[in-house]
Amino acid sequence: MKLLILLALFGLTTAAVYQHQLIRVESRKSRMIKEGTWEAYKLTKSGTQSLNDFDDAEYLANITVGTPPQSFLIQLDTGSSDFWIPDSSCTDGFACRHAFDANESSTYVQNGKSWIIRYGDGSYSEGIVGEDTVRFGSPDDEALVVPNSAIGQATKVYSGIGPDAADGILGLAFPSIDEEKSDPILFNAFKQGLLDKPIFTVYLQERGPKKNVPGGFITYGGLDTEHCSPDVDYVDLTSATYYQFKMDSVSLGTTKFSDGWQVISDTGTTMIYAPEEISRQLTIAAGAKADGSIDCNASFDDLKLTIGGKEYSVPAKQLILDEGGDNGCQFGIRPSGDSDWILGDAWMRSYCNVFGFKDQNIGFAKIIA
């Protein structure tokens, strides 16, 4: 009877716009620099920066799964499509400290599919797929609630560098790269008529070297009219996998490049990643050292990016990342290991990003608050 009542209530749900607060936490990299273990870890990384790289993720969000709700802190990632959290059968110590117990949820349905996801740093997760109700927010929030959502229940979570702040990852990209072979949750929500529009807006706040503080919002089903200008410049995606599009040129002071590249806008990456030679020359132009360290009070020109014939400026201050304490600052551009770019949080703190998952486009708007 309880399940029938819940389904009836969901049937009355109308399309709407929902806002999901993000929490800024200390990144794993920042933590390792302070502990003196980062240099050793760098030697074990692959040469190519993974699009799913969550080592530097700093903006996390609360969700709940099941009925009654079980709470998790997850990374919302536009660079992947799968949603996974640790399952109660997972025994991998701290990595599975907050686990989903399907037996405690009256709305859980077993799926039976299996999956495995491997990341660029050698870590991986694997498990089975289930279906349940997912709420974007804490139990008391007026939040987007999506029944019958695919959930990756991780039975194994392997990472060679210890615990991360997030319990799992919720991908916001396209079904074509979904290893669980299910509709990503936002696609499912739109199909169920829960969203006004097939878009979501990412607004990230600049908070400096702080952790566990409010850090911005993701708005599902519409534009964030509180923090973002209504004037949005859209460009078509070149691939409906990640949110990939064309960038025409880039410059920092007199250092300029206009070769044209494929670019990905990725909430799962803190810095901006560029082709190796371009990264090296931009590092020199900013006055940073070869290892990426930079004076916290350094002064250099803003980074200029031309996309769709329009020039966008990333303020120099967004490219000076304060690691906190005695660890100094890092320059916010790194080599990607290939010929393409990844625009991470340093870019998203400069412009609101509007992701169109039906029309397969992405838009940029000025931050107004």
Structure confidence by residue, pLDDT tens digits, 70-107: 999 888 889 889 999 999 998 775 678 789 999 999 99
The residue among 43 and 358 whose pLDDT is bigger is 358
How much is the pLDDT for 280? 97
Return the SS3 of 249: strand
Residue 365 token pair: 């708007």
Q: Is 92 a catalytic residue?
A: no
Q: Do 28 and 56 meet the contact criterion of CB atoms below 8 Å apart?
A: yes
Sign of CA dihedral 92, 96, 100, 104: positive
Beta bridge partners of 217: 21, 203
Closest of 81, 103, 83, 85 to residue 95, by C-alpha? 85
Q: Do 235 and 227 meet the contact criterion of CB atoms below 8 Å apart?
A: no
Span of 49-53, 122-126, 147-151 with lowest mean pLDDT: 49-53
Closest of 301, 295, 292, 305 to residue 333, by C-alpha? 292
25: burial class by Cβ within 10 Å (0-12, 13-18, 19+)?
Answer: buried
**Of the ranges 24-28, 61-65, 123-127, the best mean pLDDT one:** 61-65
68: cis peptide before it, omega within 30°? yes
Please tell me which residue in 77, 82, 87, 164 is annotated as part of the active site.
77
DSSP for 185-232?
A: HHHHHHHTT-BSSSEEEEEE----S--SEEEEEEEESS--TTTB-S--
> Distance between CA atoms of 139 and 66, rounded to whole angstroms?
11
Share of the chain above pLDDT 70, in %: 79
> Distance between CA atoms of 64 and 51, rounded to whole angstroms?
26
Beta bridge partners of 304: 251, 313
Q: What one-character DSSP code corresponds to residue 141?
A: S
Q: Is 259 a catalytic residue?
A: no
pLDDT digits (tens, 9 = 90+) for 254-289: 999 999 999 999 988 888 999 999 999 999 999 999
Closest of 120, 115, 125, 61 to residue 90, by C-alpha? 125
Identity of the residue numbered 321: L
Q: How far is CA 292 from CA 95, 279, 319, 329, 330, in A?
A: 30, 10, 11, 9, 6
How much is the pLDDT for 254? 97
DSSP for 60-119?
A: EEEEEETTTTEEEEEEEETT---EEEEBTT---GGGGSS-B-GGG-TT-EEEEEEEEEE-
> Distance between CA atoms of 265 and 246, rounded to whole angstroms?
11
Average pLDDT value for residue range 330-343: 89
Q: Is the pTM of this model over 0.75?
A: yes
Edge-to-edge strand order for the sheet containing 320-322? 293-294, 329-331, 320-322
Position 27 confidence tier, pLDDT thresholds 50, 70, 90? low
Closest of 190, 186, 197 to residue 83, by C-alpha? 186
pLDDT digits (tens, 9 = 90+) for 137-150: 877 767 899 999 99
